[in-house]
Amino acid sequence: MACTGGETSSTRRTLIDSRDTYDPRSLDPALSTDVPTGRAVGYVFDGLVRFTPDAQVVPGLARSWDISTDGMTYTFHLRTGVKFHDGRPFSARNVIYSFQRVLDPKTKGGRGWPLYPIDGAKAYADGKGRSIAGLTARDDSTIVIRLSEPFAIFPKLLAMPVAAIVPDSVPSNFGEHPIGTGPWKFVEWKHDDYLKFAANPDYFDGPPKADSLMARIVPEPSTAVAEFESGNVDVLYVPEGETQNWEQTDEKKAMLESAPALRVFYIAINTTRGPLADKRVRQALNYATDAKGILDGIVSGRGNLAAGVIPPALPGGDSTRKGYTRDVAKAKQLLAEAGFPNGIDIELWSSQTPPFPRIAQAVQANLKETGVRVTLVQRDASSMREAARAGKTDMALKDWFADYPDAENFLYPLLHSANKGVGGNVSFYSNPGYDKLVSEARREQDEAKRTALYSQADEIEYQDAPMIYLFFYRELYAIQPWIRNFKVPTIFTGQRWTDVTIQFQR
How far, in Å, CA of 320 to CA of 23, rounded? 40
- Rounded to 5 degrees, φ, ψ at 477 are -120, 150
Confidence (pLDDT) at 152: 94
Q: Residues of 149-177 as b/e, b for ≥16 C-beta within 10 angstroms?
A: ebbbbbbbbbbbbbbbbbbeebeeebbee
The CA-CA-CA angle for residues 9, 497, 23, to 5°, reads: 80
Confidence (pLDDT) at 506: 52
The CA-CA-CA angle for residues 192, 384, 475, to 5°, reads: 55
Confidence (pLDDT) at 328: 98
Mean predicted lDDT score pLDDT of the chain: 94
401-457 per-position pLDDT tens digit: 898 999 999 999 999 999 999 889 999 999 999 999 999 999 999 999 999 999 999
Of 141-145, 176-180, 258-262, 296-300, the least confident: 258-262
**Beta-bridge mates of residue 303:** 473
pLDDT level of residue 108 (50, 70, 90 thresholds):
low
**Beta-bridge mates of residue 273:** none
Confidence (pLDDT) at 495: 95
Pairing of strands 373-379, 49-51: unpaired
pLDDT level of residue 8 (50, 70, 90 thresholds):
low
Confidence (pLDDT) at 2: 43
Query: Which H/E stretch holds residue 370?
Result: none
Task: Answer whether residue 257 shows pLDDT above 60.
Answer: yes
Q: How many CA atoms lie within 13 A of 263 on its CB side?
A: 14
Q: What would the mean pLDDT of 465-483 be, rounded to a whole number?
A: 96
pLDDT level of residue 10 (50, 70, 90 thresholds):
low
Task: Answer whether residue 1 shows pLDDT above 50.
Answer: no
How far, in Å, CA of 241 to CA of 491, rounded? 23
By the 10 Å C-beta count (0-12 exposed, 13-18 middle, 19+ buried), 142 is classed as middle
CA distances from 170 to 84, 191, 237, 238, 414 (A): 12, 22, 34, 38, 36
Amino acid symbol at 53: P
pLDDT level of residue 9 (50, 70, 90 thresholds):
low
Task: Answer whether residue 3 shows pLDDT above 70.
Answer: no
117-172 per-position pLDDT tens digit: 999 999 999 999 889 999 999 999 999 999 999 999 999 999 999 999 999 989 99
pLDDT level of residue 110 (50, 70, 90 thresholds):
low
Task: Answer whether residue 109 shows pLDDT above 70.
Answer: no
CA distances from 47 to 71, 110, 191 (A): 21, 17, 26
336-346 per-position pLDDT tens digit: 999 999 999 99
Confidence (pLDDT) at 32: 87
pLDDT level of residue 504 (50, 70, 90 thresholds):
confident
Q: How many CA atoms lie within 13 A of 46 on its CB side?
A: 28
289-329 per-position pLDDT tens digit: 999 999 999 999 999 999 999 999 899 999 899 889 999 99
